[in-house]
Amino acid sequence: MVPLPLQVSEDEVEITAMRAQGAGGQNVNKVSSAVHLRFAVSASSLPEGVKERLLALRDTRITQDGVVVIKAQQYRSQEQNRNDALERLNALVNSVAAPPRVRRATKPTYGSKQRRLQSKTQRGETKALRGRVRDGS
Query: What is the identity of the amino acid at 136?
Result: G
Residue 89 scores a pLDDT above 80: yes
pLDDT, tens only, 14-34: 888 888 887 766 766 677 888
pLDDT, tens only, 96-123: 888 889 999 999 999 999 999 999 999 9
Ramachandran angles phi, psi of 39, nearest 5°: -135, 115
pLDDT at 47: 85
Closest CA to 98 of 47, 64, 58: 47
Q: Note the pTM of the prediction, 2 decimals.
A: 0.69
CATH of domain 10-95: 3.30.160.20
